[in-house]
Chains A and B, each alone.
Chain A
Amino acid sequence: MTVLADHTLLLALPAFAPAVVVVGVVVFVAMRDRRNSAGNNDAGNNDAETSDDGSHSENSAPGDHDGSP
């Protein structure tokens, strides 16, 4: 039986494409937030500093900066 020692690159792309897309979206969201906050005095930067106790408050606003992963 002939076993080819070579196969198309297309086969490997699906193996990592989702990871790259997800990383791309996270980087995009982070960049967008930084761009937006540059004009807004960066006020939100420290608002989570006080909640280090692990409890999960329900009342933080679902702001539109809070994008997808």
Chain B
Amino acid sequence: MTPETFVAAANEGGGAALDQVIGMSAVAMVVTVALLWIGYLHRMRRITWLKNLSERLGTKFKRPPWVALQVNLFTATIIAALFGFIWDVSLHIGNGRDPGPLANPAHYFILFGLFLLFIAGTLAMVLPYDKPGASAVRITRTWFAPVGGLLMAMCGLYALIGFPLDDIWHRIFGQDVTLWGPTHLMLIGGAGLSLIAVLLLEYEGRRVMGPDVADDTIILKLLRYLSFGGLFIGLSVFQIEYDFGVEQFRLVQQPMLIAAAAAFAAVCARLTLGRGAAIIAAGLAIVIRGAVSLVVGPVLGGPTSWFALYLGPALVVEVIALTSLAKRPMLFGAVAGFGVGTVGLWLESLWIDAVYHYPWPTSMWPEALAMSVPVAIAMGVCGALLAMVLTGQRLPRPAIGVTAVVVTVLVVGGAVANGLRTEVPDNASATIALTDLPSDEGQRMVSADVRISPTDLISADPEWVTILSWQGGVANHRGLAIDQLEQVGPGHYRSTQPIPVWGSWKTLLRVQDGHTMAGVPIFLPADPGIGAEETPALASSTRPFVQELTILQRERNSNHPSWLFSVAGLVVLFCTLVLIAVLTWGAGRINARESFTDAETSADGPKQPVPHG
């Protein structure tokens, strides 16, 4: 079954879907049998090629075979998944929803990437004949698996479980065309958090190699910095809607998300790899994200996207690390987190204001800081704890570490919940006058004059007053247009660029001002797939402000009891908490076994290689 067959099969209607079922089932069966068979033959010593291959890589990369092969596989898989993910988001923004699960080529990269993530994890478990390090988990009496491999497989499994859950979700609640659907968060979160698993696996391998292993070649050093660059990217996956300028949530979430990722990754990189590591890792993340954005946007013709630079936060962490605080990791994590959540964010805002569609207005900062600072402090402490594991320093009592993780989950959860609070103003409406502009054959471009009632609905410094047009097809100006309206009087705005109101474009007026977040449809095409009627683009119309979700996510339905939504959300939340707990357990186990073995077997200081710098 070739990709072409899948794509060709994926047209409308139900009949073609059967081809996809048969094709995917066949592939799934072959993969399952191949995995089990190779694993069985390897464990029974009937084949040697897997062992030889991994050992060759191990020699080359100065790591045990079960680390070298995995890190290579992992790098390939995670870059494939990242590319597929960004491309997929860009296609959905430009084209709208998919007719089927394999209807868009980006899905192959995601599926391939997530599945290979799982395979890389299980391979790390299957490969070693001898016990891979002191913290290895016993599977049978003669088979031990490295903790990092186990965690990587769990991350992959968590992400893959997202596929069927996503389908059930769509079936019950309608398709949620947003990145922040709970099941979508599983798909991307599993891949994002797997960076922690690979860091732990790599550390286990380094520890097994003993204190004499020197990361002396440039390639090896670069790879270690790259893994922390990956950590920056992995923790940034939740920001992608903001990166494209189509966020369906309040803008105040963005600085909080950036602070969270920056504090964790920069603190961990700096404490693990030494001076300069936070900046180098942020720089490598820019290279990778930049390359992906370049391919997806200018090369493949999708909507353009930006990404957080993290250089400001990384610089703050580096500066704070010049003090003696760096010798006390947890305190350093907290202080550096505070720095990231304040000065770091301000530095980052210079970049956001320069290139993003939605600069951060001054009026947003008090709430942004109130959300970001606690999150950054908590994430900084967690990053420091991970760095302690990765450098073989004894963690504080388990209760302290577990408390830190639990508090972090609660603080992040609280901040996100606050960010989700929105209000739709009562009795507010917009009178929109459209003037036709010269357009190509079959198209209709207009300019808009917008009068909002009441005129004082929007303050002097709102997050945004824009007209968003999207899903117009990537062939038409990438299928995305965002116009920041120009204010010409109290409650009176006008457009600054031609606005498409034809074909499959969905065009609406968007307002976000503090907790107020609402929209007014301007043009929505008829959509028989979901039984939606056209909202015509009239020369003059007065329509009330409504919740944006009802316009942006017309596919969602409300034909379900409200408790079902809560239960479904709790199922996804449960899976997520389990994954975080498992990662915490793994890091704790690696550290606990370390202290014991050092005390019992090592008289010549820590086995851990000294950090660079």
Q: Please report which residues of chain B, range 99-139, place their CB below 8 angstroms from some CB of chain A when the two chains form the complex.
A: 99-102, 111, 115, 118, 122, 125-126, 128-131, 133-134, 138-139
> Chain A nearest CB: distance from B301 CB in Å?
20
Contact present for A23 and B157 (CB under 8 Å): yes
Partner of B17, one of A11, A33, A49, A69: A11
Interface readout for B135-149 with A: 1 if CB under 8 Å, 0 if not? 000111111100000
A37-69 interface code vs B (CB 8 A; 1 in, 0 out): 100001111011101111111101111011111
Min CB distance, B187 to chain A, in Å?
Answer: 10
Contact B142 A7 (CB under 8 A): no
Q: Hey, which chain A residues are within 8 Å of B100, CB to CB? A: 7, 11
Proximity string of chain B (148-176) to chain A, C-beta cutoff 8 Å, 1 when within and 0 when not: 00000100110011011011101100110
Q: How does the 8 Å CB contact mask read for A20-34 relative to B, with 1 for contact and 0 for none?
A: 111101100110010
The answer to whether B28 touches A14, judged by C-beta atoms less than 8 angstroms apart, is yes
Closest to A23 in B: B157
**How far apart are B111's CB and chain A's nearest CB, in angstroms?**
6
Taking a contact as CB atoms under 8 Å apart, the answer to whether A12 and B101 are in contact is: yes
- Are B529 and A5 closer than 8 Å at their CB atoms? yes
Q: Are B140 and A5 in contact (CB under 8 A)?
A: no
CB pair A15 B129 closer than 8 Å: no
Question: How far, in angstroms, from A17 to B161 measured CA to CA in the complex?
Answer: 9
A14–B122 CB distance below 8 A? no
Chain B residue numbers with a CB within 8 Å of A5 are 97, 170, 174-175, 529-530, 555
B129 adjacent to A57 (CB under 8 Å): yes
Is B40 an interface residue when CB atoms closer than 8 A count as contact? yes
The smallest beta-carbon distance between A69 and chain B, in angstroms, is 3
CA–CA, A60 and B438, complex, Å:
80
CB-CB under 8 A from A61, the residues of chain B are: 142
Which residues of A are found within 8 Å of B144, using beta-carbon distances? 48
Q: Check A16 against B161 for contact (C-beta < 8 Å).
A: yes
B288 to chain A, nearest CB (A): 26
Residue of B nearest to A45 (CB): B141
- The total of chain A residues at the interface (CB under 8 A) is 53
Alpha-carbon distance A58/B161, docked complex (angstroms): 37
Interchain CB contact under 8 A, A11 and B130: no
A11 touches B24 (CB 8 A): yes
Verify A37–B163 contact, CB threshold 8 A: no
Query: Contact between B35 and A15 (Cβ–Cβ < 8 Å)?
Result: no
Question: When the two chains form their complex, are residues B17 and A21 in contact, meaning their CB atoms are under 8 A apart?
Answer: no
B140 partner, pick from A18, A29, A58, beta carbons under 8 A: A29
Minimum CB–CB distance from B426 to chain A (whole Å) comes to 30
Main secondary structure of the interface of A (DSSP, over half): loop
List A contacts of B53 (CB < 8 A): none
In the bound complex, residues from chain A placing their C-beta under 8 Å from that of B224 are none
Chain B, Cβ-Cβ closest to A69: B39
Q: Contact between B40 and A69 (Cβ–Cβ < 8 Å)?
A: yes
The interface on chain B, measured as residues whose beta carbon lies within 8 A of the other chain's beta carbons, has a size of 74
| B52-73 at interface with A (beta carbon < 8 Å) | 55, 64-65
Assess whether A55 is in contact with B125, with CB atoms less than 8 Å apart.
Answer: no
Which residues of chain B are near A63, meaning CB under 8 Å?
A: 141-142
- Chain A residues near B96: list those with CB within 8 A: 3
Query: Which of B37, B111, B175 is in CB contact (< 8 Å) with A15?
Result: B111
Asked if B214 is at the interface of the complex by the 8 Å CB criterion, the answer is no
A19 and B157 within 8 A (CB): yes
CB neighbours of A13 from chain B (8 A): 25, 28, 164
Decide: A1 near B12, CB < 8 A? Known: A18-B32, A57-B129.
yes
Interface positions, chain B 500-547, Cβ under 8 Å from A, are 527-530
How far is B168's CA from A7's CA once the two chains are assembled, in angstroms? 10
Contact B529 A52 (CB under 8 A): no
Alpha-carbon separation in the docked complex, A16 to B144 (Å): 25
Residue of A nearest to B39 (CB): A69
Q: How far is the CA of A17 from the CA of B31 in the complex (A)?
A: 10
B141–A60 touching, CB < 8 Å: no
**Residue pair B133, A17 in contact (C-beta under 8 Å):** no
Which of B43-51, B192-200, B368-376, B446-454 is near enough to bind chain A?
A: B43-51
Q: Nearest B residue to A17 by beta-carbon distance? A: B28
Shortest Cβ gap from B201 to chain A (Å): 14
Q: When the two chains form the complex, which single residue of A4, A18, A66 contacts B43, counting CB atoms closer than 8 Å?
A: A66
Complex Cα spacing A14 to B131, Å: 33
| Inter-chain contact A54/B208, CB cutoff 8 Å | yes
**Is B141 a contact partner of A37 (Cβ separation < 8 A)?**
yes
The residue of chain A having its C-beta at the shortest distance from the C-beta of B48 within the complex is A58
Residues of chain A within 8 A (CB-CB) of B570 are: none
Across the interface, name the chain B residue whose C-beta is closest to A10: B21
Known A-B contacts A52-B131, A60-B129; the reply to A3 vs B101 at CB < 8 A is: no
B99 to chain A, nearest CB (A): 5
Residues of A near B20 (CB, < 8 A) are: 11
A sample of 13 more A-B contacts (CB under 8 A), given A62-B45, A67-B43, is A1-B12, A11-B20, A11-B100, A12-B166, A18-B31, A18-B35, A44-B141, A52-B130, A54-B208, A57-B130, A65-B142, A67-B40, A67-B143
Q: 15 A-B pairs, CB-CB below 8 angstroms?
A: A3-B98, A6-B174, A6-B175, A8-B17, A12-B101, A12-B167, A14-B21, A18-B32, A19-B118, A19-B156, A47-B142, A51-B131, A52-B131, A67-B43, A69-B125
Among all A-B residue pairs, the 8 with the closest Cβ atoms: A44-B141, A69-B39, A48-B131, A68-B40, A14-B28, A33-B140, A14-B24, A16-B160
